[in-house]
Structure formats: C-alpha cells, structure tokens
Structure 1
Amino acid sequence: MSDQTSSPSDETRQNAALQHAVIVGMQPDQSPRVLEEAARYAKLLKAPLVIAHVDVTRFVTYEDPDGYVHSAPIDLNIEAGLAEFEQVQAAAASALKGSGLEWTARQLVGDPALAIKQLANKLDAQLIVVGTRKRGLGESIREFFTGSVAARLAHRQHRSVLVVPLEEAVPDDQAEIWTE
C-alpha cells in the first residue's frame, strides 16, 4: 500500500526513514483521542508516526516486486477517498502542530486490516494504534459483516495493537452495549 502520489523509488526511500514507526489508523471525524494516544506512544518509543487512512472504495489490482501497489476504484467517484485523505491530513497537521514529532500520512487502499498489516510489515512497525467504532445498530451490523479491524489485526500479525475507546464507556449495569 502506498502514498497516492509517490513513485516506487520514493516509497522505498520513505519506508527506510520510517522503520520502527508507530502506525495509527485514522478516519475523517474520528475522535482526536486516537491520534493523541498514537503521538504519545511515538514520543515514548522515539519513533516516527505514520498516519494511515484506508480508502475502502479502491482495491489492489497488483503489486510490483518492489512493493509498489497499483489500485483501481470500485466506484467511479474516486474523489471521495481523496477528500477523506485530505481531511485526515488536515486534522493530523492541526493536532500535531508544534509537537516536534516526525510524522507522515499514507493513503492505503482495500481492506483496512490487511492494508495496515502490510504497511506495518514494510515499516517493521513497533505498534499499531486504532480506535473503536461508535456504538449503534448500523455499526454493529457493519462489524458483524466486516469484522473488527482491531480484532483482525490482533489475530493476523505479531505486533502489539493498542485499541483506543472513542466514546464514554458503557456502564456496567447496562445490559445492551448498542441501544439503537
């Protein structure tokens, strides 16, 4: 998985500089807590921070031997994924301004868990940070069909995965987690 605008040689050079990074999966309008925790761990580990946004509207068509990934849109409106990536970059730039932290953003494509796993392998990442989903019937149905990205990452690769809660915790006396 690669930056949309990078060439294979650019990506190889960037990957070398980002070895042992902390990777954080981000979506537009996500709780800032996820990025804050990722930045905190990147500082503690003295590691670069890689912000990964996965465009699920595109899929991998083939991968070159050097690891450069070519993709194609599922939908002809490819601007949606680019707009989301720009939104994620802007939020990260605002949140990390003045932090002194070395960071970069990557646009990945396809299945979020597999895309983040592949990036973590390329960078020999120290840690992967993801947020939980919002509670709600729609999200629970989506998770039922697609599975939790955090759970899939935890079971399909060897790195530690930090899962950051996005909302207030469900009270212990509340029987149903999703009340919609």
Structure 2
Amino acid sequence: MSDEASDEVPAGAVIVGAIPDQPSRVLKEGVRYAKLFGAPLIVAHVDVTRFITYEDPDGFIQSAPLDIDAATGEAQLQKVRAQASAVLDAADVDWSVRQLVGDPALALKHLAEQSQARLIVVGTRRRGLGESIREFFTGSVAARLAHRQSRPILVVPLEDPAADDEALWPDPPA
C-alpha cells in the first residue's frame, strides 16, 4: 500500500469507488482487473459531507464542510481504509486510498481523468428505503458516471450478500 498523502496519482490505475461497510466483492473485482491490466489500484472514498469550494492552479482542492461535524468523513475514510487493508494486504497489487469530496460521480470522474484510469469499479446501491430515496433524488452513481465520462465502468452487483466472497466468474486456467 502506498501513502495517500502523496499528491502523485498513479497513472493507468484501476479505481474502486468505496464506501464504509461495502461488501468486499467490489474491492476483489478491482484487484482482479488491476492484476489483469498490470495496473495500480486506487481505492477512492468520496466524502459527501464536504464540497469543493475551488481548485488551486496546482490542482490542490479546497473544500468546506456541509456540516460542522467534519469527523464523520474522517471516520468513514478510516473505516474504508481498514476494510481495504483487510482485503488488499494479501493481494499482489500496488494500492492506495484516496479521499475525494463532493458529488461521487464527478469526484470519481475527476480522479479517473487525473490518473488516465483504465477502469472504474463501483458497486450497486445498498438495499433499503433510504437508499432508494437518495437514488431517486441524486441518481445512480454508476449511471451518472456512464453518461459523463469515456472510461469503462464495471458495476458489481451486490444483490446476494451470500455471494460476497465469490468472484463474478472464475479465474481463467493458467
């Protein structure tokens, strides 16, 4: 794992959009494609409690909280980092975690452009009334990504929690 504090974004990466308590299947599919492409993996968490106020000419993003409780976003990032570490430490792939802010689709699109990403991997939305209402108002991140940028997107289905440890399809024979 590399340190997220580095301003350098790995070129040609596979990007995984990650949220706390997301099934590990999404990360595992990201690893699968990073290995196939021989590419680094970026685990990207988007803090939706913050928004971009402006971007410096050198690319540094200035942000401000929607809520005074900035600890929420940091706690979510720590949870994503711990989940990623649990899945990826044993994987033979270079990976890093990055915190983005604002709208998830736009933030992932921007990161993909910065890294010239080979692929963006996201999971389907969580089940539940709250998520259905959120998606009604904000739209699907996967669908919005598909309509706003030109990179391939892998949307990992999460309907069956029992299938979390199963790959979408078996590895090809060596």
TM range (shorter): 0.7 to 0.9
Q: CA RMSD in A?
A: 1.3
Alignment match, 1:21: 13
Q: TM-score, normalised by structure 1?
A: 0.85
Alpha-carbon shift at residue 69 of structure 1 (Å): 0.4
- Corresponding residue for residue 30 of structure 1: 22
Spell out the pairing of 1:157-176 with structure 2 (5 A cutoff).
157-168=149-160
5 Å-filtered alignment, 1:1-180, equals: 6=5, 10-11=6-7, 14-15=8-9, 18-168=10-160
Deviation readout 1:56-115 (Å, 9 max, x if unpaired):
000001101121101111111000100100110111111111212100000000000000
Q: What is the distance in 2 between the residues matched to 1:167 and 1:35? A: 16
Structure 1 segments, 4+ long, off by >4 Å, are none
Identity %: 61
Equivalenced residue count is: 158
Query: Rg bigger for which structure?
Result: 1
- Consecutive unaligned residues of structure 1, counting only runs of 5 or more, are 170-180
1-structure distance, mates of 2:127, 2:93: 32
Unaligned runs of 5+ in 2: 162-174
Q: C-alpha displacement at 1:22, in angstroms?
A: 0.1
Q: Distance in 2 between matches of 1:29 and 1:90?
A: 10
